[in-house]
């Protein structure tokens, strides 16, 4: 027979926790001995281990109380449910851990594997690191704000860049970043891009997000703000397409 303090040390809980279990009706209080101390035996220790294990698994104390009085079949079924819930929690925690590692590596959010592969291909095609980083950030924004539409937009851009001539337009656009806004090459680039858009889509509208979405304007503002030349290209393209 052991005291509450000894029991707490053996099982790895506090005496306060044991008293809470007593108050909640989870753990029967033994009678006091002649000295006024409660004494616990091996069965009490085993019962406390079971309660502690269930509590550490996240089972609410009220549920533990019901399980303590459940028939064996009901108890086993409850344990299977708890095990399934733990498996789900582990999967979610691993996913969270993965996202944290992505964040630690400098990525705001994970992107689909095909987008990641595409970004790597951009570097191999000769796009600047600045362009690749910008594309990554913009795709993170699009996939976060419009996960249902983002993949179609991505596929459209990927197909465009698969065309060598169209890819060259994007490369020229990338390299125009540091030009002055009044550089005559800007006008020529804008005309070529506008014509390519018209040739690719004709009278059809290019794939886009919901008309009410503010994301396209936010993206274009971000791009334009990074380069006066890019802002000039955007203005001229809109003028050509609207003519």
Q: For 2, phi and psi rounded to 5 degrees?
A: -125, 160
| Spatial distance between the Cα atoms of 5 and 217, rounded to a whole number of angstroms | 66
| Spatial distance between the Cα atoms of 164 and 24, rounded to a whole number of angstroms | 72
What are the tens digits of pLDDT across the range 211-234? 667 878 888 888 889 899 999 999
Bridge partners of 40, per DSSP, are 2
Report yes or no: 72 and 37 within 8 Å, Cβ to Cβ: no
Give percent of the chain with pLDDT exceeding 70. Answer: 91
pLDDT at position 205 is: 67
The sign of the torsion formed by the CA atoms of 195, 154, 176, 166 equals negative
Average pLDDT on 160-172 reads: 94
Task: State how far Cα 128 lies from the chain centre.
Answer: 27
| Spatial distance between the Cα atoms of 177 and 147, rounded to a whole number of angstroms | 29
Q: For 38, phi and psi rounded to 5 degrees?
A: -80, 135
| Spatial distance between the Cα atoms of 21 and 61, rounded to a whole number of angstroms | 8
Average pLDDT on 15-25 reads: 92
pLDDT at position 187 is: 95
pLDDT at position 173 is: 96
119-151 as b/e, with b when 16 or more CB fall inside 10 Å? Answer: beebeeeebeeebbebbbebbbbbbebbeebbe
Say what the pTM is. Answer: 0.55
Largest CA distance in the chain: 102
pLDDT at position 68 is: 77
Q: Is the pLDDT of residue 188 over 90?
A: yes
Structure-block tokens of residue 206: 């290019």
pLDDT at position 172 is: 96
Structure-block tokens of residue 69: 């009085």
Q: Is the pLDDT of residue 75 over 70?
A: yes
| Chain mean pLDDT for the chain | 86
What are the tens digits of pLDDT across the range 30-61? 888 888 888 998 888 988 988 888 888 778 88
Long-range contacts (CB closer than 8 Å, 24 or more residues apart) made by 197-203: 197/237, 197/241, 198/241, 200/160, 200/166
pLDDT at position 70 is: 77
Bridge partners of 2, per DSSP, are 40
pLDDT at position 131 is: 94
How many Å from the N-terminal Cα to the C-terminal Cα in the chain? 95
Give the HSE-up count for residue 161: Cα atoms under 13 Å, Cβ half-sphere: 22
Residue 21's pLDDT band (cuts 50, 70, 90)? very high
Counting DSSP H helices and E strands in the chain, the numbers are 12, 0
What are the tens digits of pLDDT across the range 136-158? 888 888 888 888 888 999 999 99
**Count of beta carbons in the 10 Å neighbourhood of residue 170:** 19
Average pLDDT on 197-209 reads: 77
């Amino acid at each position: 027979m052991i005291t509450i303090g000894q029991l707490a040390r053996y099982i790895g809980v506090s005496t306060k926790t044991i008293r809470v279990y007593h108050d909640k009706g989870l753990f029967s209080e033994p009678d006091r001995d002649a000295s006024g101390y409660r004494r616990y035996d091996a069965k009490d220790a085993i019962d406390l281990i079971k309660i502690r294990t269930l509590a550490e698994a996240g089972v609410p104390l009220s549920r533990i109380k019901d399980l303590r009085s459940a028939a064996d079949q009901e108890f086993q079924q409850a344990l299977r449910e708890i095990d399934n819930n733990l498996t789900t929690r582990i999967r979610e925690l691993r996913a969270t851990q993965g996202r944290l590692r992505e964040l630690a590596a400098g990525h705001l959010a994970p992107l689909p594997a095909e987008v990641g592969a595409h970004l790597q291909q951009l570097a191999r095609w000769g796009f600047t690191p600045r362009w690749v980083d910008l594309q990554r950030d913009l795709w993170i924004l699009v996939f976060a704000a419009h996960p249902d539409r983002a993949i179609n937009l991505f596929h459209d851009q990927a197909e465009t860049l698969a065309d060598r001539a169209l890819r060259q337009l994007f490369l020229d656009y990338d390299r125009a970043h540091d030009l002055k806004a009044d550089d005559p090459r800007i006008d020529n680039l804008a005309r070529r891009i506008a014509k390519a858009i018209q040739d690719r889509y004709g009278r059809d509208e290019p794939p886009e997000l919901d008309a009410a979405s503010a994301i396209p304007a936010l993206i274009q503002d971000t791009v334009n703000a990074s380069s006066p030349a890019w802002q000039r290209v955007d203005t001229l393209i809109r003028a050509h397409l609207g003519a």
